[in-house]
Amino acid sequence: MRSLNRDRGAIGVLVGVLLGGGALLGVGALVIDAGRIYQERAELQSGADAGALAVARSCAQGACDPAKADTYADANAKDGLSAVDAVCGSGGTLPSCSASTGDITDCPPAPASGKYVDVHTATETDTGTLLPPDFSRTLLGNESFDGAGSKACARAAWGPPSSATTVAMTISYCEWRDATANGTAFAPPPPAVPPVSADQVLKLHDPSKPTTCPDGPAGSDGPGMFGWVDDGDGDCEAFISGGSYSADTGVSAGKSCQAALAAAQADRTVVYVPVYTSVSGSGTGGTYALKGFAAFVVTGYHLPGFTASDWLNPKNDCKGADKCVNGYFTQGLLPAAGTIGGPDLGVDIVQLTG
């Protein structure tokens, strides 16, 4: 029988040979040092993404704030430190970006049009701009290696959406045009309180009292100044995409839309609604043609079994058989996901594009 004592020390000899030949140190350098650089690259990219979105949101809201990039870059670093080499783009007060280097850590070439911001991040530590090596310096020929850093870039764009998730209520384009002087006059967004003259009364279509909007094409006021949208899941939300969306029949607001309107009216918050140019079909086959998206503040409503007095101008309260939603149009940044590319009706959306 083979004695176990004859194998004693074999592992020690093998480790000594591997260390002497640099094999274990090479593996250590690859696993630990390269792993640190990979993790650093991921943190820098997360910081650049978050920073670009934050700066783009500030630009869409009227005043670009490049300092937001530093805040979000540091917040996404495990050690709380990341350098922001540049914040640039088009729109607002952003400086123009330099030509793309084509490097994997750089942003792509600037788009031909549209508003965007690029945020460039880079490694930063307590002692400099390089990650100190743990094993790499022990390798033959690497005695003077001081470490390595990484870079990242992210691009966020902003503009009017062509698709978005909104409340399941829709408003006619001609009514929006009348209320905003063709998109030139918006009431200030909450918490500011606009003058009572900004308050609008949007009536649901009454077949016995047809209404028309003089600024719109024939058929643009098919179901009246506002109507309901088929929300599918019954949550008073609808994803609008592809240029058209389905109508929901009836004059009453469902329970979910009652809750949404009540909360918006009580909290004085903005709701985002699709705007239609025309209506085709009828009943369950009704279809709205999408124009774009608008920001609306609900001040009151008078619907079957569901009423709240207008907090801005009580004189606008509807009574009797009228079915109304009161409120005013403003400008806003839609928080839900969507796609940039629609006409400007006062609403912007922000998305990462590179």
Classify residue 71 by burial, with Cβ atoms within 10 Å: 0-12, 13-18, 19+. middle
Q: Which of 248, 250, 230, 254 has the alpha carbon at shortest distance from 240? A: 230
Q: Which of 78, 103, 312 has the alpha carbon at shortest distance from 188? A: 312
Average pLDDT along the chain, 354 residues, taken 10 residues at a time: 49 44 52 67 92 95 93 90 92 88 86 90 70 53 56 94 92 88 94 96 64 48 66 88 83 85 96 89 76 96 94 95 92 88 94 88
pLDDT number for residue 15: 42
* Start-to-end CA span in the chain (Å): 68
pLDDT number for residue 31: 60
Token pair recorded at residue 276: 């239609």
Token pair recorded at residue 203: 């009536």
Q: What is the C-alpha separation between 312 and 198, in angstroms, rounded?
A: 9
Q: What is the C-alpha separation between 45 and 107, in angstroms, rounded?
A: 11
CA dihedral 313, 315, 316, 320 (to 10 degrees): 140
pLDDT number for residue 219: 40
pLDDT number for residue 81: 83
